[in-house]
Amino acid sequence: MIKLSKRLQIIADYVTAGARMADIGSDHAMLPVYLLQAGKCPSAIAGELNTGPFQAAKKQIAEAGLTKVIAARQGNGLAVLTPGEADTVTIAGMGGALMVEILEAGRSAGKLAGVRELVLQPNVGEELVRKWLVLHGYVLQAETILEEDGRIYEVLHALSASHSPSSIRNEDVYDPAFLQTAMDTERKREWLYRMGPYLLRERAELLHDKWQHEHGKLQRICSQLAQSGLAESRDKEVQLREEMNAIQEVLSCLRTAKPSSSF
């Protein structure tokens, strides 16, 4: 049985047992092969846009003797799916903007019909993905933040509203009242999207590290901008300092507030 990286294993663990799954941007098809070998999924589709990774997926599937139950398909995003043939879609290892583009194109083409579960791991731009989920009737059930090879990743697990337990609703998940800061409601909601509503409630240590790192990056940019005489540099510096203050405000609220883990 193939061994997954820590990141892919967390994604695999979120997939509901028995689901017909499709992995989009599958590269070596590690995830579908593992899920079939583990007996967790009865069938899978490995979708891949680019020829090199598509060939690698086909090879991996063939070597595992799984060509009858895993279909490798070359194509753009969810275009490789026929509506109704997947219960779960996983997309991992790409930016949030591209992920949203893929989800949105697929949704408009009806490819998400019947898809009740999404497991998404954007490398950056997580807030775009969280917003897309809310806009399109998916409810975040859980999030994991992890570190691997010196990089921090976030994995998001969402169910369609009709499959989400009634106790978990987007209004509660993104309830801005949870953040006890002086920010207005809209800004609080923005930070819930950016940092992750579950990660914030868990006060995940890695979340703290990730945003301290971001704060440091902004600090360095501000120091460079401070050396410039340009008016635009001043404006940019003010904007970045506001962002840094907001990061500190949310992080310090995590240190002091006692967040509730339930909604």
**Helix, strand or coil, per DSSP, at residue 130:** helix
Stretch that binds ligand SAM, among 49-57, 140-148, 189-197, 248-256 (CB under 6 A): 49-57
Does residue 24 belong to the site contacting ligand SAM (CB under 6 A)? yes
Sequence letter at residue 63? E
- Is residue 82 classed exposed, middle or buried when 0-12, 13-18 and 19+ CB atoms within 10 A define those classes? exposed
Between 24 and 64, name the residue whose CB sits nearer to ligand SAM: 24
Contacts of 202 (CB under 8 A, 6+ apart): 259, 261
Between 25 and 196, name the residue whose CB sits nearer to ligand SAM: 25
Stretch that binds ligand SAM, among 42-50, 110-118, 176-184, 194-202 (CB under 6 A): 42-50
Identified binder of ligand SAM from the candidate list 16, 76, 141, 233, rule CB under 6 A:
76
Does residue 49 belong to the site contacting ligand SAM (CB under 6 A)? yes
| Contacts of the segment 166-170: beta carbons below 8 A, 24+ positions apart | 167/263, 168/139, 168/141, 168/263, 169/139, 169/263, 170/134, 170/139, 170/140
Distance CA 186, CA 155 (A): 24
Count CA atoms within 13 Å of residue 227 on its CB side: 4
Identified binder of ligand SAM from the candidate list 10, 32, 48, 250, rule CB under 6 A:
48
Identified binder of ligand SAM from the candidate list 32, 43, 47, 87, rule CB under 6 A:
47
Does residue 122 belong to the site contacting ligand SAM (CB under 6 A)? no
Smallest gap from Cβ 72 to ligand SAM, in A, equals: 12
Identified binder of ligand SAM from the candidate list 36, 92, 145, 250, rule CB under 6 A:
92
Give φ, ψ of 91 to 5 degrees.
Answer: -140, 125
Bridge partner list, 74: 48
Identified binder of ligand SAM from the candidate list 93, 95, 114, 176, rule CB under 6 A:
93
Maximum Cα–Cα distance across the chain: 65
Stretch that binds ligand SAM, among 65-73, 88-96, 170-178, 242-250 (CB under 6 A): 88-96
Q: Per-residue x/- mask for ligand SAM, residues 178 to 217, rule CB under 6 A?
A: ----------------------------------------
Helix residue ranges per DSSP H, 42-123: 51-63, 96-108
CA distances from residue 85 to 91, 136, 140, 216, 226 in whole angstroms, order as listed? 16, 19, 22, 46, 55
Size of the site for ligand SAM (CB under 6 A): 17
Between 93 and 176, name the residue whose CB sits nearer to ligand SAM: 93
Name the residues that contact ligand SAM, by CB under 6 A: 8, 24-27, 47-50, 53, 76-77, 92-94, 98, 102
